[in-house]
Chains A and B, each alone.
Chain A
Amino acid sequence: MTQAFELDITGDVCPMTLVRVRMALDKVAPGGVLRIKMAAGEPVASIPRTLRDEGHELVSLERSGEHFEASFRKKP
Chain B
Amino acid sequence: MAIDPRDFYTPKVLDAQLTGMIKTREPNTYSARLRIPMGILTADALEDVAAVARAHGRGEVYLTARMGIEIPGVQTEDFPALREDLAARGVALAGCGPRMRSTTACKGTVCPHGNLDVFELAWRIDQAHNDAAVLPHKFKVGVAGCASSCSKPQTNDVGFVGVSEPELDPGACVNCGICAEACHLAALRMEQGLPAIDPDLCVSCGDCTKACPVQALAPRRTGLDLYAGGRWGREKQVGMRLGAFLSEDEAVGAVGRIKAWYVAEGRTKERLGQTMLRLGPRACQEAALEGVPRGKWVELTAEAEERFRGFR
Given A45-B207, A46-B112, A61-B174; A40-B213 close (CB under 8 Å): no
Binds A, one of B177-185, B235-243, B277-285, B294-302: B177-185
B178 touches A44 (CB 8 A): yes
Task: Look across to chain A and name the residue whose beta carbon is closest to the beta carbon of B214.
Answer: A58
B 174-230 contacts with A by CB, 8 A: 174, 176-178, 181-182, 207, 210-214
Given A49-B213, A58-B214; A44-B174 close (CB under 8 Å): no
Residues of the A chain whose Cβ atoms lie less than 8 Å from the Cβ of B177? 63
Q: Chain B 166-179, CB within 8 Å of chain A: the 1/0 string?
A: 00000000101110
A11 contacts partner chain B, Cβ-Cβ < 8 Å: no
Residues of the B chain whose Cβ atoms lie less than 8 Å from the Cβ of A22? none
A5 contacts partner chain B, Cβ-Cβ < 8 Å: no
Residues of the B chain whose Cβ atoms lie less than 8 Å from the Cβ of A40? 181
A49 touches B174 (CB 8 A): no
Cβ of A39 to closest chain B Cβ, rounded Å: 9
Contact partner of B213 (CB less than 8 A), chosen from A41, A42, A58, A62, is A58
A52 contacts partner chain B, Cβ-Cβ < 8 Å: yes
CA separation between A16 and B211, bound complex, in Å?
Answer: 19
A46 touches B176 (CB 8 A): no
Cβ of A42 to closest chain B Cβ, rounded Å: 8
Find the residue from B177, B178, B212, B214 having the highest chain A CB count within 10 A: B178
Residues of A in contact (CB 8 Å), total: 16
Given A41-B181, A61-B176, A63-B177; A46-B213 close (CB under 8 Å): no
Residues of the A chain whose Cβ atoms lie less than 8 Å from the Cβ of B213? 48-49, 52, 58, 61, 70
A 37-73 contacts with B by CB, 8 A: 40-42, 44-46, 48-50, 52, 58, 61-63, 68, 70
A48 touches B211 (CB 8 A): yes
A48 touches B181 (CB 8 A): no
Task: Look across to chain B and name the residue whose beta carbon is closest to the beta carbon of A48.
Answer: B213
Residues of the A chain whose Cβ atoms lie less than 8 Å from the Cβ of B211? 44-46, 48-49
Task: Look across to chain B and name the residue whose beta carbon is closest to the beta carbon of A60.
Answer: B174
Given A41-B181, A44-B181, A45-B181; A63-B210 close (CB under 8 Å): no
A49 touches B210 (CB 8 A): yes
Residues of the B chain whose Cβ atoms lie less than 8 Å from the Cβ of A42? 181
Cβ of B182 to closest chain A Cβ, rounded Å: 4
Cβ of A54 to closest chain B Cβ, rounded Å: 12
Residues of the A chain whose Cβ atoms lie less than 8 Å from the Cβ of B181? 40-42, 44-45
Contact partner of A63 (CB less than 8 A), chosen from B176, B182, B207, B212, is B176
Task: Look across to chain B and name the residue whose beta carbon is closest to the beta carbon of A40.
Answer: B181
Residues of the B chain whose Cβ atoms lie less than 8 Å from the Cβ of A63? 176-177
Residues of the B chain whose Cβ atoms lie less than 8 Å from the Cβ of A58? 213-214
Cβ of A5 to closest chain B Cβ, rounded Å: 19
Find the residue from B112, B210, B212, B213 having the highest chain A CB count within 10 A: B213
Cβ of A15 to closest chain B Cβ, rounded Å: 12
Closest 3 CB pairs of A and B: A45-B182, A48-B213, A45-B211
User: Besides A61-B176, A61-B213, 5 other CB < 8 A contacts?
Assistant: A40-B181, A45-B181, A45-B182, A48-B178, A63-B177
29 residue pairs A–B, Cβ–Cβ below 8 Å: A40-B181, A42-B181, A44-B178, A44-B211, A45-B178, A45-B181, A45-B182, A45-B207, A45-B211, A46-B112, A46-B211, A48-B178, A48-B211, A48-B213, A49-B210, A49-B211, A49-B212, A49-B213, A52-B213, A58-B213, A58-B214, A61-B174, A61-B178, A61-B213, A62-B176, A63-B177, A68-B176, A68-B178, A70-B213
